[in-house]
Amino acid sequence: MAELTATLPRILIVDDEPLIIRMLNTVLKTRYDIQVATSGEEALAMSISDAPELILLDVGLPDMDGYEVCRRLQRNPDTRDIPVIFQTKHDERQDILRGFEAGGRDYVLKDASVMVLMARIDTHLQLHRQKSALEAAMVKNRMQNDKMASLGQLVVGIAHEINNPMGYVFTNLQILARYFNKIVEERRGRHGSDGELSPPASQTSDEREEMEHILEDGVSLIRESLEGVERVTQIAQELKNFSRMDALEQKAVELNVCMESALTICSNELKYVAVIRKEYEPVPEVLCHPGQLSQVFLNLLVNAGQAVVPMGEIVLRSWCDEAYVYASVSDTGVGIPPELLDRIFEPFYTTKDVGEGTGLGLSISHDIIAKHHGELLVASRVGFGTTFTVKLPRTQDAS
């Protein structure tokens, strides 16, 4: 029975009349998960703690009227989207208008039939869920667009990061091919005029030194080529992980790993403008969407690179306490004026020149961290630099 109740739409009934509460609970409990508040203050608190999908609100309450409760719900970003249906005893036009002005979605008389009440409730639950689904799709689209914009800004650097090791791998292989042709030639000897192989002549000291150089240099070239291929493989893997940021499954990872993933992708972007310093501490893993967190750190690193004056410094740190895990990106850049700090997380707000940013990076990063039940904090001083800190609960379940 508990499992069944957990799947039902949660409705908060706000009323101070025991008879009304008992009647509503009796007729609605088979279709909805019913919560009850008997005062305005209790209703406001339960709206946050219990996250109802709809509120059935009485106009007359002992501590404040239902209109004031609705206005306060509307002022709180965490509760403003919960649909409110007012319950009234009288069909007074003025009262109905006050309810709509306060933010109510509908009203129903207390003596209305059960079928009418359920029809009103079901209609607004359906509208609420459709609106939530549409907003979720829009957020996902914004995240995807920002991801592509971030990669678009870095694509030249990523191409360089791949072309550089592949260039010396190609050169090394050409040299190795010549070396091994030389070795084969030495081992097999030269062809005689009759086409038969003659035994190899005795090697001079110069020939022996040349062969030793070929063998030693060949080993070095192979090792260097392997490192180049490993670098390309690492970049390709990080891009693959980044492209899977919308994956549904969650994984337990260290924030250090997410920061390193982002740093791998944008390292070419940063190495010409800043010295990178790492101050990682061992931190516990958090259950999260690694690709999404990597996007957050990628946004923060790119912003830091654009803020510093070459050659500045960017510092990556991680630490933890008993309740939270922290990861920060600090730069020695120009800093953010105090009057702009309150706006930096607004969608499309940017102080960058046209073409240098979408104005979505910090907004989406803030949303991602919020969905992981954490906070994205900022501290800045003009002329000294900025620090963005990701704060996540040690044990949490990202939605």
Tokens (6 digits) for 385: 């630099």
Are 270 and 368 contained in the same domain? yes
235 domain-assigned? yes
Enumerate residues 6+ apart whose C-beta is below 8 A from 352: 306, 359
Pair 253, 353 in one domain: yes
pLDDT band (50, 70, 90) for residue 139: low
pLDDT digits (tens, 9 = 90+) for 348-377: 555 554 444 444 568 778 888 988 899 999
Among 91, 112, 133, residue at a domain's last position: 112
26 within domain boundaries: yes
pLDDT at 116 over 80: yes
The pLDDT assigned to 191 comes to 46
366 and 308, same domain (yes or no): yes
pTM over 0.75: no
> Which among 314, 283, 280, 286 is positioned nearest to 300, based on CA atoms?
314
User: Is 366 found in the same domain as 293?
Assistant: yes
Domain that holds residue 318: 246-393
Q: Is 334 among the domain residues? A: yes
Q: Which residues pair with 276 in a beta bridge?
A: 314
Beta strand 10-14 pairing with 324-331: unpaired
Whether residue 308 is predicted with pLDDT greater than 70 in this model: the reply is yes
CATH number at residue 68: 3.40.50.2300
Q: What is the pLDDT of residue 126?
A: 85
Given CA atoms 167, 168, 174, 177 in this order, what sign does their dihedral have? negative
- Strand order, beta sheet including 33-37: 33-37, 10-14, 54-58, 84-88, 106-109
Total number of domains in the chain: 3
The predicted pLDDT at position 339 comes to: 83
Residue where one domain finishes, among candidates 74, 95, 112: 112
What digits encode the pLDDT tens for the residues 216-263? Answer: 777 777 777 777 777 677 666 666 655 554 455 688 889 998 898 888
